[in-house]
Amino acid sequence: MSECYEGKGMCLCGSVSITVQSLDNSIGACHCDMCRRWGGGPFIEINCGSNVSFEGKENITCFASSEWAERGFCKNCGSHLFYKLKEGNQHMVPIGLFKETEGLVFDTQVFIDEKPSYYSFSNKTKEMTGEELFAEFAPPSE
């Protein structure tokens, strides 16, 4: 069972801070083309759900990167703040924003079919292709 605790983090310049009431200890990596273009490498994130609060919201700029998601960043320092699913308001937040990372477990990699061959993680993780990810999280058809 996953351990949960309150998470507090901030961007590089401190203009935006984040608080998550119940932060799961499971982290993952996304290897999709968009995430790699966004940050220059895989997006290492923690799913913070929708129970996220931000201070310094006036310093957050969002970019609609797809029909279903947007990416937020600090307009002062450029720190990546979140990848958010528009439906459900679910936030995936870069783990590097949080100071306390003790007890976190890297256990999932998604879009493994888009991962370039020039890097590899040694951790044993669940690996999902983009197709498998969409199949698991797609809303049921009526």
- Write out the residue range of the structural domain in which residue 33 sits: 4-137
Residue 109 included in any domain = yes
Mean pLDDT taken over the chain: 91
Q: With H, G, I as helix, E, B as strand and everything else as coil, classify residue 5.
A: strand
Q: Which two tokens stand for residue 72?
A: 């937020």
- Structural domains counted in the chain: 1
Residue 58 included in any domain = yes
Residue 54 included in any domain = yes
Query: Can you give the pLDDT at residue 51?
Result: 86
pLDDT range class, residue 102, cuts 50, 70, 90: confident
pTM of the complete model: 0.88
Residue 125 included in any domain = yes
CATH code, domain carrying 67 = 2.170.150.70
- What amino acid occupies position 81? L
Residue 105 included in any domain = yes
Residue 142 included in any domain = no
Query: Can you give the pLDDT at residue 44?
Result: 97
How much is the average pLDDT of 42-68? 94
Q: Which two tokens stand for residue 3?
A: 């351990």
How much is the average pLDDT of 124-140? 85
CA distances from 139 to 35, 92, 108 (A): 22, 19, 21
How much is the average pLDDT of 71-86? 96
Position 1 pLDDT exceeds 50: no
